[in-house]
């Protein structure tokens, strides 16, 4: 399905997405949503943390999208602690579901799959390699929530987040579960993501670019800044609602 494409100037992007999410929470306080970590949402989480009315999140459930396997809680890249630091501890949802890695990892993935069942909103970022969560290249639309071997670019990204653990594996909510969410938002910012965003939206649907499967979602929204959207050659094809013009 054609997404709603929203393009905002970089400086306005975080506030615009924060306002959209705040609207969702006001309309449906018991929202069940999954959230990513990474650099893209940092400014969004700061905006949400600064602006959340007392109680706005008090009935919401936040589910962690993915995490590295085996990082200690004080590793800067560890997903659960990072999401707590950047947003959860500030907005205080009723429930926050991390990925409990104790015991058997396959069982941990199954438990997390159950936690991700029936999401109202899946918020995801876009990897430079086209991944969604840790649904790495090679993943298909029916990919389950599972333990994955990380792609070299994902390992590189982890190093950029300051990890000392050089993680080789991750656990991610699968594309199948994400495509089941009632609504899906893809967050994309910055020039380095322009090429892969174009591939995801305008290239062939392919496991080489797992994000291309998001097109199967009946209700999805791409929330980009103007830099990330700069290569969308057929932007007039999209149903646009723009914070600013894109030439
Ligand atoms: C992180 C995640 C990843 C990132 C993606 C973009 O929880 O699921 O898929 O969303 O790698 O990362 P940044 O935002 O750092 O460019």
> Model confidence over 4-37: pLDDT tens digits?
899 999 999 999 999 999 999 999 999 999 999 9
Q: Please, are residues 80 and 67 in contact by the beta-carbon 8 Å criterion?
A: yes
Residues catalogued as catalytic: 66, 129, 131, 136
157 lines ligand 1 (CB under 6 A): yes
Residue closest via CA to ligand 1's atom 6 equals 127
CB of residue 39 inside a 6 A radius of ligand 1: yes
Is the shortest distance between the CB of 133 and ligand 1 below 6 Å? yes
For ligand 1, atom 8, the nearest C-alpha belongs to 133
Q: From the CA of 44, how far away is ligand 1's center (Å)? A: 13
Low-confidence ranges of the chain (pLDDT < 70): 234-247
Say how many Å lie between the CA of residue 218 and the centre of ligand 1.
23
User: Dihedral angle at the C-alpha atoms of 207, 5, 122, 90, nearest 10 degrees?
Assistant: 130
Residue 167 gets the label, from left (phi > 0), alpha (psi -120 to 50) or beta, of: beta
Q: Give the orientation angle of helix 10-27 with respect to helix 42-51, to 10 degrees.
A: 50
In CATH terms, the fold of domain 4-232 is: Rossmann fold (3.40.50)
CA distance 174 to 135: 7
Ligand 1 pocket, residue 66 CB under 6 Å: yes
Task: Report the C-alpha dihedral over residues 49, 53, 54, 60, rounded to 10 degrees.
Answer: -70
pLDDT at 242: 47
Q: What pLDDT was estimated at residue 234?
A: 57
118 CA → ligand 1 middle, Å: 22
Residue whose Cα lies nearest atom 2 of ligand 1: it is: 133
Nearest residue by C-alpha to atom 10 in ligand 1: 125
pLDDT at 166: 84
pLDDT score, position 245: 37
- Separation CA 239–CA 235 (nearest Å): 8
Residue 176 to residue 145: CA distance in whole angstroms: 8
């Amino acid at each position: 399905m054609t997404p709603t494409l929203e393009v905002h100037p970089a400086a306005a992007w975080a506030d615009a997405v924060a306002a959209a999410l705040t609207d969702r929470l006001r309309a449906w306080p018991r929202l069940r949503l999954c959230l990513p970590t990474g650099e893209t949402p940092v400014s969004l989480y700061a905006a949400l943390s600064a602006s959340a009315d007392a109680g706005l999140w008090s009935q919401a459930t936040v589910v962690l999208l993915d995490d590295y396997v085996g990082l200690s809680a004080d590793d800067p890249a560890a997903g659960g602690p990072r999401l707590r630091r950047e947003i959860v501890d500030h907005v205080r949802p009723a429930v926050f579901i991390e990925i409990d890695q104790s015991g058997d990892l396959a069982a941990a993935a199954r438990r997390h799959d159950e936690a991700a069942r029936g999401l109202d909103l899946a918020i995801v970022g876009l990897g430079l390699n086209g991944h969604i969560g840790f649904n790495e290249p090679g993943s298909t639309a029916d990919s389950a929530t599972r333990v994955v071997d990380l792609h070299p670019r994902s390992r590189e990204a982890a190093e950029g987040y300051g990890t000392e653990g050089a993680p080789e594996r991750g656990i991610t909510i699968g594309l199948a579960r994400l495509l089941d969410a009632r609504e899906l938002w893809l967050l994309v910012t910055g020039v380095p993501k322009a090429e892969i965003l174009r591939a995801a939206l305008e290239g062939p649907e392919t496991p080489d670019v797992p994000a291309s499967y998001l097109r199967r979602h009946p209700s999805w929204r791409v929330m980009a800044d103007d830099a990330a959207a700069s290569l969308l050659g057929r932007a007039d094809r999209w149903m646009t609602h723009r914070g600013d013009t894109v030439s």
